[in-house]
Homo-oligomer: A and B are copies of this chain.
Amino acid sequence: MIRLTFEPFDPGALLTEFCRDRTEVGAVATFTGLARAEAGATTTLELEAYPGFTEAEIDKMIGRARVRFGLLDVLVLHRVGRIVPGEPIVFVATAAGHRRAAFEACDFLMDYLKSRAPFWKKEHGPDGERWIEPTAQDHADRERWT
């Protein structure tokens, strides 16, 4: 499942819920991306999505991850709007029978989210604002899965 939210969220509350009543899930991996202050260089992040389209695209990728890694469940929550340092931006949880599948699926989904998911990210700081594009490392990370 994928949800977008304009409000701050608590990754721990999502993990508590995600682990509830799982008697055949041996492994839950999660990733939480937090906004960094970059020692004061970033005061706010602004995340934009294309509502409807963004969820549909991420949902396709969740479907691929489910099949490729044999997942039992997946949750993606992504923040949009204005985000201050220390706040979670993204949370991905994957559930599988064994740990390798859970780890790899979580890693795979994050590489996709960082380089291909329909979001646009602007950084605001004392030196003004700038749009962030995926780094060469982000693209290289994603290439690992092809």
Contact = CB atoms under 8 A, between A and B. Distances in A.
Give the contact-size bracket for chain A: 35 or more
Interface in A8-32: 10-19, 21-32
B31 A103 contact: yes
Contacts of A26: 33-34, 36
B12 A17 contact: yes
Contacts of A67: none
B106 A36 contact: no
A85 interface: yes
A97 interface: yes
A23 B36 CA distance: 5
By CB atoms of chain B within 10 A, which of A14, A15, A31, A99 has the most? Answer: A99
By CB atoms of chain B within 10 A, which of A16, A18, A30, A88 has the most? Answer: A30
B12 A24 contact: no
A28 B34 contact: yes
A31 B101 CA distance: 12
A105 to B, nearest CB: 11
A141 B100 contact: yes
A55 interface: no
A107 B105 CA distance: 12
Contacts of A19: 11-12, 32, 34, 88
Q: Nearest 5 pairs between A and B by C-beta?
A: A12-B16, A12-B15, A23-B37, A12-B12, A28-B32
